[in-house]
């Protein structure tokens, strides 16, 4: 596929924006908890705002109420309020840095196994090695907490694995039902928004308006809508293979921001584990090709 230089640069820019927003989510969510916003508050703000903004998408696409109450509910369980609640509660127990590495990498592992089990996909040697590396990396990060006998951090890390499983279910259901990405996202936000709306009333009553505007715009607009649009548009311009590169940027972005913004100190285990995870994600996504005869890095086709 021939792409103009201008469109190619636009695709790169949009992909980077999506990576920065998604990579910053655990960091900003941890900051929100220090501002006296609970995980329920964060979740309610995110989906009430996103649901209100995306409701016209369902109206425009003439999506039936039956579809929303069946497939929409399943999708919302995977990528909606349960996912965000599990992630934010996990961040309170563990750290945003751990979320940034464990959740997306676990999602890739569960999605790969689900694709084999339900769609009969065959995993290439490189992808199998990538999945193995991800599991090893997550284990390396967790070992230090086993040694410290810190049950809270371990529980938080297990919650992040659960986040990966939930998001993988959203990915697999979306693929199985062949849903338009915007319709699927809108159903997640609207269903979750309806459930969260009663809690949002209490959030508005108990918090200053400046705090609500700041975190409401970030959670409800930037994370739930803008990041998805940027990523989808980037994939449309560059193709799925190139777009996958930006998904692999999320863990390092999260780790770097945790270090800079939150002054999180990384242990040797966490650094080594994170590097292994990033390499594993690159292998699993096909950015780095590994076969029995050697190693190669995927080259871009003509632009």
Q: Judging by beta carbons within 10 Å of its beta carbon (0-12, 13-18, 19+), is residue 261 exposed, middle or buried? A: middle
- Could you tell me how far CA 263 lies from the centroid of its own chain? 22
Look up the pTM and report it. Answer: 0.84
Dump pLDDT digits (tens) for 73-115. Answer: 999 999 999 999 999 999 999 888 889 888 888 888 898 888 8
Q: Kindly give the residue spans of alpha helices, DSSP state H, lying in the chain.
A: 5-34, 39-60, 65-67, 73-79, 81-93, 96-119, 125-148, 151-177, 181-206, 209-216, 227-238, 240-247, 250-261, 268-284
- Could you tell me how far CA 155 lies from the centroid of its own chain? 19
Q: What is the pLDDT along the chain (303 residues), one digit of tens a residue?
A: 567 888 888 988 998 898 899 989 999 999 998 888 999 999 999 999 999 999 999 999 999 999 999 999 999 999 999 999 999 999 999 888 889 888 888 888 898 888 888 888 887 888 888 888 888 888 887 776 666 657 888 899 999 999 999 998 998 898 889 888 889 989 999 999 999 999 999 999 999 999 999 999 999 999 999 988 888 788 778 776 566 667 777 888 888 888 889 887 777 887 888 888 888 878 877 777 776 655 555 544 434
Q: Give dist(CA 91, CA 218) in Å, integer.
A: 17
Question: Would you give the end-to-end CA distance of the chain in angstroms?
Answer: 7
Q: Which two tokens stand for residue 211?
A: 């705090």
């Amino acid at each position: 596929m021939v792409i103009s230089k201008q469109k190619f640069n636009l695709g790169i820019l949009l992909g980077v924006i999506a990576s920065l927003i998604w990579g910053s989510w655990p960091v900003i969510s941890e900051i929100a908890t220090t501002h006296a916003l609970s995980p329920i508050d964060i979740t309610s703000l995110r989906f009430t705002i996103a649901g209100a903004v995306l409701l016209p998408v369902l109206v425009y696409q003439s999506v039936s109420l039956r579809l929303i109450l069946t497939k929409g509910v399943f999708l919302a369980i995977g990528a909606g309020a349960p996912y965000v609640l599990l992630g934010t509660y996990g961040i309170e127990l563990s750290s945003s840095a751990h979320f940034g590495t464990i959740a997306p990498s676990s999602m890739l592992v569960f999605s790969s196994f689900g694709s084999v089990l339900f769609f009969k996909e065959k995993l290439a040697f490189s992808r199998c090695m990538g999945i193995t590396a991800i599991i090893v990396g997550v284990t390396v990060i967790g070992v230090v907490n086993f040694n410290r006998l810190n049950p809270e951090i371990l529980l938080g890390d297990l919650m992040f694995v659960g986040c990966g499983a939930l998001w993988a279910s959203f990915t697999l259901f979306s693929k199985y039902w062949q849903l338009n990405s915007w319709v699927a996202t809108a159903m997640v936000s609207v269903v979750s928004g309806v459930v969260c709306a009663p809690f949002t009333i209490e959030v508005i009553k108990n918090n200053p308006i400046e705090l609500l505007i700041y975190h409401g715009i970030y959670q409800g607009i930037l994370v739930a809508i803008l990041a998805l649009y940027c990523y989808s548009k980037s994939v449309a311009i560059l193709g799925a293979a190139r777009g996958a590169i930006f998904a692999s940027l999320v863990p390092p972005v999260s780790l770097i921001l945790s270090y800079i913004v939150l002054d999180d100190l990384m242990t040797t285990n966490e650094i080594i584990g994170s590097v292994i995870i990033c390499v594993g994600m690159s292998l699993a996504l096909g950015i780095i090709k590994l076969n029995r005869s050697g190693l190669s890095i995927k080259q871009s086709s003509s632009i």
